[in-house]
A = this chain, B = another copy of it.
């Protein structure tokens, strides 16, 4: 090391910069929403090379203290309140009242929701999806891919896969907006009464494309949900694959203790 510091701390330079900036954020010296000094300014201030500053900044981003925007700068993160996803968001009463699940949720969490439909059309069912739908891999199914926003920032991306036989006579599910109550309401109107949902939950780090789609820093955590919609006669008619920004959600489940 070039300088003659005590070095007893045994900390690396970039870690010292991380700690220093983190302390400034927690103390309020760098207020939430405000700009972090630019990388070139940090290079001067801490007398280090660009790579060192970048590593520190990247660390601060990984622990979600700041967010960086190419060409604009880095900013102290103002943590938005989390959304709750409660397991009764799919209640039939909500569907009858004309609400889609995401709206039933958003109502309670206070943000302004938005949906962007990315794709609606036939696709060859991926192996994992086909298995859950009880069809052969590669069979034609209807895919509906959309991205959800809250207050303008993307929060989750979901793809629904529906059995072609089930939906081919339901024009509304091919539309961008399937109408009040969402696709589940349309399915029930056409005699496919839903009995239960089975949801599997995983957590992992975002892949690069996911990080881009959800405006996350690479290395941020995501929740990965796969939900099956099961009808009265035991058939899985829909599988919904959802990737959510982990810091935006809390999932709620209740289940009986009895047999």
Q: How far is the CB of A65 from chain B (nearest CB, A)?
A: 10
Q: Which of A231-259 contact B (CB under 8 A)?
A: 246-247, 249-259
- Asked whether, in the complex, the Cβ of B257 is within 8 Å of the Cβ of A62, the reply is no
Query: How many angstroms between the C-alpha atoms of A257 and B218 in the bound complex?
Result: 36
- Asked whether, in the complex, the Cβ of B197 is within 8 Å of the Cβ of A254, the reply is yes
Q: Which residues of A contact B (CB under 8 A)?
A: 15, 18, 51, 59, 62-64, 82, 87-88, 90-93, 184, 194-205, 207-208, 218-223, 229-230, 246-247, 249-259
Q: Find chain B residues with CB under 8 A from A253 CB.
A: 87, 198-201, 253, 255
- Asked whether, in the complex, the Cβ of B92 is within 8 Å of the Cβ of A259, the reply is yes
Query: How many angstroms between the C-alpha atoms of A259 and B169 in the bound complex?
Result: 27
Q: Find chain B residues with CB under 8 A from A184 CB.
A: 257
- Asked whether, in the complex, the Cβ of A257 is within 8 Å of the Cβ of B90, the reply is yes
Q: Name the residue on B nearest A251 (C-beta).
A: B201
Neighbour of A201 across the interface among B194, B247, B250, CB < 8 A: B250
Neighbour of A87 across the interface among B18, B247, B255, CB < 8 A: B255
A-B contact pairs, 23 of them (CB 8 A): A15-B208, A18-B208, A51-B51, A59-B218, A62-B219, A64-B205, A91-B257, A91-B258, A92-B257, A194-B257, A194-B258, A196-B255, A197-B254, A199-B252, A200-B251, A201-B251, A202-B250, A203-B246, A204-B247, A205-B220, A219-B219, A229-B257, A253-B255
- Asked whether, in the complex, the Cβ of B255 is within 8 Å of the Cβ of A197, the reply is yes
Q: Find chain B residues with CB under 8 A from A200 CB.
A: 250-253
Neighbour of A195 across the interface among B196, B203, B258, CB < 8 A: B258
Query: How many angstroms between the C-alpha atoms of A247 and B198 in the bound complex?
Result: 20
Neighbour of A221 across the interface among B92, B203, B230, CB < 8 A: B203
Q: Find chain B residues with CB under 8 A from A201 CB.
A: 201, 223, 250-253
Supposing A195-B258, A257-B196, A259-B91 touch, asked if A205 and B63 sit within 8 A by C-beta, the answer is yes
- Asked whether, in the complex, the Cβ of B257 is within 8 Å of the Cβ of A204, the reply is no
Q: Name the residue on B nearest A220 (C-beta).
A: B205
Q: Name the residue on B nearest A87 (C-beta).
A: B255
Q: Kindly list 15 other residue pairs between chains A and B, CB separation below 8 angstroms, not including A91-B257, A92-B257.
A: A18-B208, A62-B218, A63-B207, A87-B253, A92-B258, A196-B257, A197-B257, A198-B253, A200-B251, A202-B246, A202-B249, A203-B221, A203-B222, A204-B246, A204-B247
